[in-house]
Structure 1
């Protein structure tokens, strides 16, 4: 899917640049660079610094994992198109993640190198952040069990509510039962567990979420190919309260029949 976003010539150039980085070919990289790229102070020293991140050994696979295109069409100026590709290069000993930014100006051939970054990982980031049960422990299995139990309990109580005759404010009960409130968030990749009521920002400040609702009590999201799966499981307050209400109604009905 990511590859379809980029024109063929941009993708070919990005892979050629990655190959040049792997063989530490400064002249080729500079030849692909835009005027802005080549005019950066200490550009060669910066490239030599990123060469240290290259994992040695034979390449097992090179794949495009994410891509973006941005357009700049400022009035009175030539239009500019920016292409960004994230590539994984897999080795026996780990993986390199490349972010290659290219620019194409109106009337020019595609494309010129705008920016490069490279990171080194022990395993492929796109594989590591996939949803898998391999190597997971009791905490992961417990969260997964809750992700099934909570919506099943909500659905059961929802059906019970719909079928309860003579229930006042039934539609309010239905809406209340349908959602989970607050609860926990769980990072499937690293096992981090947090509450949705209080949290902590990247700067370390304590944050407070005024309201958090999840339809059927559970949401699962992944914001990108390299992002982890995040599960949010809300407490089924409405379903629990209706369960108590059903038990109370059953006791009251039993008491009426007992009096008769």
Structure 2
């Protein structure tokens, strides 16, 4: 129980750290500027946005694109606004910051992002996107066993089995007395080879042959992102379990008569 509490606390801390990282990548001033441009778009103040566009974006099609984006957004103040993504790229002459928010208006959800180009002399809009979502990111990326494919269930089952084999072999190895080069066996057992993973939201499967992982299984869920379940071949654990009888027999004392 104590281990579960520690693991859950670490998970919460990891989530908090991810949110704090987003806040550092896109500072409060970056977020405020991005929100102001989204508010201008919602209110139809397209001239304001056009005046702030980077020269590389100014073309005859811009007005039509802005009008289409403005028509998507509902009227009135949003129900909620969450920072869900941030990127910052630093170049010799300018910095590019992309800030992504999840906007909610009642039962409608939108992903809105604004890319700002900041130089020593000016700040311009380098990109602006509005996308209607079926539901919130939290609902989209929620871990559930319903409606998944056979490959998703197979990889999840394989990850659980690989972890259990590794844990069983590791405990058995640690408890076995007198085994030669035990530390090498322990390292061999806890390392899995190859990596088969699946995006739990989309079902996309990927495989890496030249990869190693601890305990032959893993899961990862970035903040507001999909879960990834992965498994590796527990080669060391399997070899140890197959050879443990032989290893034990070499440790038995030999009796001599006469």
Q: TM-score under structure 1 normalisation?
A: 0.72
Per-residue Cα deviation, 1:26-54 (whole angstroms, up to 9, x for no partner): 223223323333x2342111212333543
Match of 1:72 among 50, 73, 91: 91
Q: 1:105 to 1:250 in 2, by over 3 A?
A: closer
Q: Give 1:64 deviation, angstroms.
A: 1.6
Q: 1:247 to 1:31 in 2, by over 3 A?
A: same
Alignment: residue pair count: 233
Alignment-derived partner of residue 124 in structure 1: 136
Secondary structure class of the residue paired with 1:238: helix
Q: Give 1:86 deviation, angstroms.
A: 0.6
Alignment-derived partner of residue 100 in structure 2: 86
- Contact 1:57–1:92 under 8 Å retained in 2: no
2: CA distance, partners of 1:134 / 1:181:
26
Alignment-derived partner of residue 47 in structure 2: 27
Alignment-derived partner of residue 225 in structure 1: 223
Q: Give 1:82 deviation, angstroms.
A: 1.9
Match of 1:112 among 103, 124, 143: 124
Q: 1:10 to 1:243 in 2, by over 3 A?
A: closer
Q: Give 1:183 deviation, angstroms.
A: 5.8
- Which stretch shows the higher mean deviation, 169-178 or 62-71? 169-178
Secondary structure class of the residue paired with 1:123: coil
Does the alignment pair 1:194 with 2:205? yes
- Contact 1:104–1:112 under 8 Å retained in 2: yes
Structure 1: where are the runs of 5+ without partners? 74-78, 197-208
More helix by share: 2
Pairing 1:26-65 to 2, within 5 Å after superposition: 26-37=46-57, 39-54=58-73, 59-65=78-84
Secondary structure class of the residue paired with 2:210: coil
Q: 1:229 to 1:10 in 2, by over 3 A?
A: same
Per-residue Cα deviation, 1:85-136 (whole angstroms, up to 9, x for no partner): 011111333311112011222144xx32221112121012255225x44857
1: CA distance, partners of 2:148 / 2:38:
37
CA RMSD of superposed structures (Å): 3.4
